[in-house]
Chains A and B, each alone.
Chain A
Amino acid sequence: MGGDRRRHRDNRPMTLTASASLRDETRLLERHRQGDAEAFGELYRQFETMVYNLALRMSGNPADAEDITQETFVRAYRHLKKFKGKSSLKTWIYRIAINCSNTRLRKRGQRAARQVDDGEARLERESDGKRSPEERAVATDLSEAVRAGLEELPAHYREAVLLRDFEDMSYAEIAQILGVRIGTVRSRIARGREQVRQWLETRI
């Protein structure tokens, strides 16, 4: 139980990546403060996919995801010199991305857009080649159903579930990103999962 959580999505041990990335972050920030134009480019390449995916899951729409990603990095660029390092750079950027996503969702009325991402579908089809047909069928059905269920959630439940289960973050990290207490995070994750579970029960 929870064994998957101890390894990051790219399969690197969390403890090693954390210390390495902390050193990298410090160096990156120092270079940026000294006016190295390349430093922010590196930061962008490092977090681009992560931010884009979070934005895509939050908005459910590739076009919105692109806009949210751009807005996130523009804000990060503007405020990076003021970043004090109280949290990790990753947490800080996640927080910006969540704020940008919520701003976009507020403008649109909270719900994620129901729009199938062609690129995502293609990539999912390609990655399915590594699985057995049975696994593929189960994974496709389950992921698709869960994705649809996530889109039904209110934004504050959706972001908590995504940060926990998709980004594999601890409750403490999520609390830091969302700016809420751990008890609130616990509650949002539980209620979000429960809503998706009930949604799946009525449809599967």
Chain B
Amino acid sequence: MSGHPAIELLSSYLDEEVTVKQLRLVENHLEECARCKRTLEGLRVVAVGVRRLESVEPPPTLGIAMERRLRLAALEDVRGPDLEGKMKRWLGQPVLAPAFAVVLALGAILYLFSYGLAQREEGRTRLIVASAQSKEGEVGRQTGAMLKDQSADEVGRDGEAGGRVVADAPFSEPAAERAVAADALASTTASEETDLAAKLEPVRADRDGLEPARSESRASEVAGLVAPGREVEAAAAQMPSAPQVAEERLEAFADAVAPVRSIADRVFVRQNGVWVERGLDSEPAAELVDLRDGSAAPDPDLVPFAELGRVRLRLRERVVEVVFPPASENPRP
């Protein structure tokens, strides 16, 4: 034999599980090799040690437990296992346990995915609102510029700087809608989201019922009357982003339902049934004009504020427009 016999051959030799040829080879090698003799002796010690392990009597309780288990097994054979038993048996299967884990993981992923989709859908809804606001805001900016010019004509004063045109723009047509959307942005609960839809619906219906023709005519007016001058460009460059606008609308909306309003950085206080700009004399600061027919709005003290719907607030040197939410959502200040 060249080299030492493999450990498998030595172990098999110990067990007499070798052929006659292998037996002779190993015995011849062992006569010359002390190392393999020591290894074989070590293997023999292990085998003897295992053989000398004492047989242990099972505990008496095992028989009792066994009898109970067998009775249960017999019952299950007749009736079938109960749900717990079935679950244990299924989960005990080497293939089914990982499969069950995979199904659970997939379920969790699907749940998270669908939750994410729902969130995304809500975000998309908001985006659509913001997009609509953005588009309308564009018209609003132009309208604001136009109104500024109108205001200047009517009041006979110059309008404020281009920056003030920017301040006007947020008060263009979808102001309350933005305010409601901003309100929704600030809210987190599902019920509030539902409320948002309810709030938006009448406002949109109102706008849609009133606005198409006017929007078109106004757009043509803007196209015809307002050239994209330097002032408008500067205003557009400084135009706040949609979230900023929404934030401002939120504040404006909050103020709108309170006796003190802050509109375009100016604070108006209700005094003796009229709105007076704070810090100035008691001369009424604004005149409410119902845009539906262009006539002067009824006294806001007598008519619930929300019933005014879309109004044009004519301030001293400019005109802005505000859409107020429906009566149910807008307590009278």
| B47 CB contact (under 8 Å) in A69, A117, A193 | A193
* B40 shortest CB reach to chain A, Å: 10
The residues in A between 1 and 56 inclusive whose CB is less than 8 angstroms from any CB of B are 1-2, 4-5, 9, 40, 44, 48-49, 52-53, 56
Q: Assess the B66–A69 pair: CB atoms within 8 A.
A: yes
Q: Assess the A66–B73 pair: CB atoms within 8 A.
A: no
Q: Assess the A48–B58 pair: CB atoms within 8 A.
A: yes
Q: Assess the A123–B39 pair: CB atoms within 8 A.
A: no
CA distance A191 to B15 in the complex (A): 14
Q: Beta-carbon contacts of B41-62 to A below 8 Å, as 1s and 0s?
A: 0110111111111111111011
The residues in A between 100 and 125 inclusive whose CB is less than 8 angstroms from any CB of B are 103, 117, 119-120, 123-124
Q: Assess the B46–A196 pair: CB atoms within 8 A.
A: yes
CA distance A71 to B17 in the complex (A): 33
CA distance A166 to B47 in the complex (A): 8
Q: List chain B residues, Cβ under 8 A from A2.
A: 14-16
Main secondary structure of the interface of A (DSSP, over half): helix
Closest chain B residue, CB of each to CB of A5: B15
Q: Assess the B59–A62 pair: CB atoms within 8 A.
A: yes
Q: Assess the B42–A186 pair: CB atoms within 8 A.
A: no
Q: Assess the A9–B47 pair: CB atoms within 8 A.
A: no
Closest chain A residue, CB of each to CB of B17: A171
CA distance A48 to B56 in the complex (A): 11
Q: Contacts A2-B14, A190-B7, A193-B11; is A150 near B50 (CB within 8 Å)? A: yes
| Residue B102 is within 8 A (CB to CB) of chain A in the complex | no
| A57 CB contact (under 8 Å) in B10, B43, B53, B65 | B53
Q: How large is the interface on B (under 10, 10 to 19, 20 to 34, 35 or more residues)?
A: 35 or more
CA distance A30 to B53 in the complex (A): 35
Q: List chain A residues, Cβ under 8 A from B6.
A: 190
| Residue B77 is within 8 A (CB to CB) of chain A in the complex | yes
Q: Assess the A143–B56 pair: CB atoms within 8 A.
A: no
Q: Assess the B46–A197 pair: CB atoms within 8 A.
A: yes
Hey, which bits of chain B sit against chain A, CB under 8 A?
6-8, 10-12, 14-17, 39, 42-43, 45-59, 61-63, 65-66, 69-70, 73-74, 77, 92, 94
8 A–B contacts, CB within 8 A, in A order: A66-B65, A103-B94, A142-B45, A142-B48, A186-B12, A186-B17, A189-B11, A190-B12
Hey, which bits of chain A sit against chain B, CB under 8 A?
1-2, 4-5, 9, 40, 44, 48-49, 52-53, 56-57, 62, 66, 69-70, 73-74, 77-78, 103, 117, 119-120, 123-124, 127, 139, 142-143, 145-147, 149-150, 161-162, 164-166, 168, 170-171, 186-187, 189-191, 193-194, 196-197, 200-201
